[in-house]
Structure 1
Amino acid sequence: MSGPVKRRYDSSRRQEQARENRRRILDAAHTLFVTKGYGRTTIADVAAEAGVAPETVYSAFKNKPALLHRTWDVAVGGDDEDVPMLERPELRALFAEPDLRARFTAFAVVNTAAMRRTARLHLAVRGAAASDPAAAAMLAEIDRQRLAAMAGHAEAASATGQLAVAEEECRDVLWSTTDGTLWHRLVEGREWSDERYAAWLGRLWVSSFVVAFS
């Protein structure tokens, strides 16, 4: 009996160690992509920052573009769980809110938290896109995914009967104000707090999109 028990214990411990290594690698990659730049960061750099061997990084993520992709996914979601954004509780709560003013106000808070996690990385990918094909492909994918997500928000907003503009206009303005540029300029450039930024963004969206009732 002792043999099988030991093997199960060892397997569990190895799996937990592998998960911990992946978390450390992803944290290291995010830090280096933002501070050093995607193009100048090597797998060896990531391994050293994470305290693992380069072979461990390759084993977990295969190559640097795959590592960038997973780093982005974790930054967007806020964790390494494979749960689509639209199925996460904070997004489900948004779509369940019937009052469009309250919905856009709450969405601004959710988006601000996402910008805190992703804006610097997005800027790093954008900066590398001109000279690195993998970064360019990642940037295009990010923009496509965000446009699809904002189309979903605009469609749902239109369905409430409270949208004051065309659905396409709502989609495009949401898409243009959620790429991290505004957050970076106002929070990091002008030292706004996240709370001030979220309140401002909510007012902007409400005034731009929601029917004014007398």
Structure 2
Amino acid sequence: MTEQSKRRRYSSPLRQEHAQATRQKIATAAGELMVAKGYADTTMAEVAREAGVAVQTLYSSCPGGKPSLAKLVYDITLAGDSQRLAQSDRPAIQAILDEADPVRKLTLYAAMATTILRRIKPVHRVLRAAAAASPADAGLQDLLIDIERERLAGSRGPAEHLHALGALRRGLPPGRAAEQIYVLTSTETFEKLTEVCGWSETEYEQWLAAMLAAALLEQPGRADAR
């Protein structure tokens, strides 16, 4: 192996690590500013300064401008980090897949969803408020639509998994099961129950697990199973 080839092999992981660290710094700075000041009052130049990167670097990381920046914030907040790691490879998902009991699977899923909702709630609320205040901002409106479409698509994973195991109640197609998961795990429902109704996050998590099991799983003696 030539010295040049060695340099290429070892420099690629370093570049990826640097890019990942830059994405994390940008997302952290932008998220903190947007939550504190609002979406509209957060400028790209301000984010670049807080993240310690050049404005051009910011635009290179978020080529779609501020909506793209907001999506980066949302995605990294949702995942909990900036690693380019498939959801199926993350420990929480692996634990759900490895669990044999469908009820326990949904208990683990509810715990994971509650953790994610706690992280994503402030960002999601800022973006909703900005979209409501600026209905003509097509980029922002499209961002929220994309987020909801991704949430619905992501809900198909657990639905298809339960279907493959034969755990979904009879007569419930995976697509309809995914739609119920999508609605039950919405940020708005989490906000209403924990903020308006005053539930603790533990109470929400327990409720979510029970609702998912009741809606999705075959129940002994269920009369509407056909």
TM-score, with length taken from structure 2: 0.77
- Quick check: 84-93 or 109-118, which moved more? 84-93
- Quick check: 26-35 or 103-112, which moved more? 26-35
Secondary structure of the corresponding residue to residue 172 of structure 1: helix
Aligned to 1:37: 38
Shift of 1:192: 2.9
Separation in structure 2 between the aligned mates of residue 19 and residue 101 of structure 1, nearest angstrom: 36
Relative CO higher for 1 or 2, CA cutoff 8 Å, sep ≥ 6? 1
Q: Deviations over 1:18-67 (max 9, x none)?
A: 76554332112112223333233211232344355544533543432222
Shift of 1:118: 1.2
Aligned to 2:168: 163
Aligned to 1:111: 113
- Quick check: 184-193 or 63-72, which moved more? 184-193
2:87 to 56, 73, 85: 85
Structure 1 unpaired stretches of 5+ = 1-10
Structure 2 unpaired stretches of 5+ = 1-10, 222-226
Contact 1:101 1:206 in 2 (8 A): yes
Within a 5 Å distance, the mapping from 1:174-213 to structure 2 comes to: 174-213=181-220
Shift of 1:169: 2.7
Letter in 1 for 2:24: R
Residues 189 and 49 of structure 1: is their aligned pair in 2 closer, same or farther, counting only changes over 3 Å? farther
Separation in structure 2 between the aligned mates of residue 66 and residue 27 of structure 1, nearest angstrom: 14
Superposed CA RMSD in Å reads 2.9
Shift of 1:108: 0.4
Separation in structure 2 between the aligned mates of residue 163 and residue 59 of structure 1, nearest angstrom: 44
Aligned to 1:151: 156
Separation in structure 1 between the aligned mates of residue 176 and residue 90 of structure 2, nearest angstrom: 26
Aligned to 1:26: 27
TM-score, with length taken from structure 1: 0.81
Aligned to 1:5: none
Contact 2:48 2:54 in 1 (8 A): yes
- Quick check: 163-172 or 80-89, which moved more? 163-172
Within a 5 Å distance, the mapping from 1:112-127 to structure 2 comes to: 112-127=114-129
Separation in structure 1 between the aligned mates of residue 70 and residue 39 of structure 2, nearest angstrom: 8
Residues 18 and 170 of structure 1: is their aligned pair in 2 closer, same or farther, counting only changes over 3 Å? closer
Secondary structure of the corresponding residue to residue 163 of structure 2: helix
Aligned to 1:7: none
Separation in structure 2 between the aligned mates of residue 190 and residue 144 of structure 1, nearest angstrom: 28
Q: Percent identity?
A: 33
